[in-house]
Amino acid sequence: MTTQALLDLCMAKPGAWADCPFGPEPICVRIGKRIFAEIFPGRSWVTLKCEPVYGLAMRARYPQAVRRGYHCPVPQHPYNNTVTLDGSVPEDTLLEMIDHSYRYALGSLTRAQREEALRRRPDGSTTQ
């Protein structure tokens, strides 16, 4: 999967929006205030949020392509995986990991934040 296809897929999630708070890379895709995907086009990587046990399982299953979150501080290591987009991880598994990340980030929001986030359009406006 290309980084552009990955970005398009992430941006298709309800309420998803993108920004670049750290410079041109990574492109951070958010739901509400939570980042669920950090896409590194120049490196063909994506960092995804994950529940710690799920994250460790993915690292064990695909040690050549999934590692602890690139550039994440030590306390966040269990909650982020960086996936190399070289085809080592089957596309259906990558899609599952993206869905897991989105749900995990969405679930970390309060009910009010979730409702507001799901009304947000990709251009930043909200529906009433």
Domains and CATH numbers, the chain: 3-118 (3.90.1150.30)
The two tokens of residue 26 are 């990574």
Burial 82-112 (b: 16+ CB within 10 A, else e): bbbbeeebeeebbeebbebbbebbbebbeee
pLDDT of res. 51: 94
| 26-85 residue pLDDT tens | 999 999 999 999 999 989 999 999 999 999 999 999 999 999 988 777 777 788 999 999
Judge contact between 27 and 20, C-beta under 8 A.
yes
Q: How many residues are present in the chain?
A: 128
| 14-39 residue pLDDT tens | 999 999 999 888 999 999 999 999 99
Q: Which residue has the higher pLDDT, 21 or 126?
A: 21
In the predicted structure, residue 120 carries a pLDDT above the cut 80: no
